[in-house]
């Protein structure tokens, strides 16, 4: 084993479409604790691909909230590092290359179905994570006739190996299994608005930033199975995974950006101090 594979590299990857809440802070805190326990590095990546929703003020506030809470990262958009860029919006060329490779290897096909088409398809129950299962309407389309992937009328989907069980060892939850075509269907790699999907961007970034362990919420377990298919298709070694429990509100609903009262901003303005919040999790 080469020495570099022994170095722990973790990451926190906020999406600045709103303010960070306690759920983000808890997941990121676990990521930071795990990186520190291993004597490794923590990388900050700004997942700002959705240009219409990622407002500059959210980005500024995100840095401020992270610092207030006590996060410290060793590489990131604000301090640089050997794996620049750390902003997804500056990494489009890298996603293009990966997308072209997947296309050339025959893993992708263009899809003209609208969200409504998918919802109306009789054969489209929900995937294991509540995404719509794609019914396969455009699967037979010949991708070689579609040249321009930024064309507005179609997205590009990854053809999953129907029936195959995708397994991985989660470092908190143990062995997890998901059946392709049943627990999740053909998923979007490149959106019809010319933006790479979360699944593609996160995989390309975790690979190129040499992340050794991905720490994120349990809501992304099924996405890990999707991303493992991308790693395999691109011939890349996948990192280890640790999925954290989700923070819920009093009614049992998972925290979301709409829970403004539990945003770090609001808690801070109401006099909460970061140390007590951290202490409540240890």
Tell me if 88 contacts ligand GLU by CB under 6 A.
Answer: no
Residue 32 · residue 53 · CB < 8 Å: no
**Closest CB to ligand GLU among residues 151, 176:** 176
* Contact call for residues 108 and 139 (beta carbons, < 8 A): no
Shortest Å, Cβ 21 to ligand GLU: 11
The dihedral formed by the CA atoms of 96, 236, 230 and 86, expressed in degrees to the nearest 10: -50
Indicate the residue among 202 and 277 with the shorter CB distance to ligand GLU.
202
* Number of other CB atoms surrounding residue 105 within 10 Å: 11
* Residue among 108, 127, 189, 202 that touches ligand GLU (CB under 6 A): 202
The pattern of x and - marking residues 109 through 138 that bind ligand GLU according to CB under 6 A reads ------------------------------
Q: State both tokens at 196.
A: 């790479």
| 220 scored as a contact of ligand GLU (CB under 6 A) | yes
Say if residues 165 and 176 touch (Cβ distance below 8 Å): no
Rounded Cα gap, residues 66 and 80, in angstroms: 17
Active-site residue, 257 included: yes
Indicate the residue among 13 and 267 with the shorter CB distance to ligand GLU: 13
User: Is it true that the peptide bond before 85 is cis, omega within 30 degrees of 0?
Assistant: yes
Find the catalytic residue in 55, 67, 176, 257.
257
Q: What's the full length of the chain, in residues?
A: 282
Give, as ranges, the residues between 8 and 37 that touch ligand GLU (CB under 6 A).
13-15
Per CB under 6 A, the list member of 21, 23, 44, 47 interacting with ligand GLU is 47
CA atoms within 13 A on the CB side of 99: 29
Q: How many residues bind ligand GLU (CB under 6 A)?
A: 7
Residues carrying an active site annotation: 257
Contacting residues toward ligand GLU, per CB under 6 A: 13-15, 47, 202, 216, 220
């Amino acid at each position: 084993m080469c020495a570099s594979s022994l170095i722990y590299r973790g990451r926190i990857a906020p999406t600045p479409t709103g303010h960070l809440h306690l759920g983000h802070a808890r997941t990121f805190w676990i990521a930071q604790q795990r990186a520190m326990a291993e004597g490794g590095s923590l990388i900050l990546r700004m997942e700002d691909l959705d240009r219409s929703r990622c407002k500059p003020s959210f980005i500024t506030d995100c840095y401020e909230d992270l610092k207030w809470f006590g996060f410290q990262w060793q590489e990131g958009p604000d301090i640089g590092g050997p794996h620049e860029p750390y902003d997804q919006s500056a990494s489009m060329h890298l996603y293009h290359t990966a997308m072209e490779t997947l296309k050339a290897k025959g893993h992708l096909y263009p899809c003209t179905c609208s969200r409504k088409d998918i919802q109306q398809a009789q054969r489209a129950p929900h995937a294991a994570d509540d995404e719509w299962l794609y019914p396969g309407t455009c699967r037979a389309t010949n991708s070689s006739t579609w040249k321009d992937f930024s064309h507005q009328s179609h997205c590009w989907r990854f053809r999953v190996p129907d029936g195959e069980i995708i397994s991985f060892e989660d470092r908190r939850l143990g062995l997890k299994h998901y059946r392709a075509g049943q627990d999740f269907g053909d998923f979007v790699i490149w959106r019809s608005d010319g933006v790479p999907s979360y699944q593609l961007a996160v995989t390309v970034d975790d690979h190129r930033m040499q992340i050794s362990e991905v720490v994120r919420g349990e809501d992304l377990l099924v996405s890990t199975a999707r991303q493992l298919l991308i790693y395999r298709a691109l011939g890349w070694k996948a990192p280890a995974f640790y999925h954290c429990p989700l923070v819920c509100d009093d009614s049992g609903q998972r925290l979301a950006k709409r829970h403004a009262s539990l945003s770090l901003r609001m808690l801070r303005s109401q006099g909460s101090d970061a140390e007590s919040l951290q202490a409540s999790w240890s």
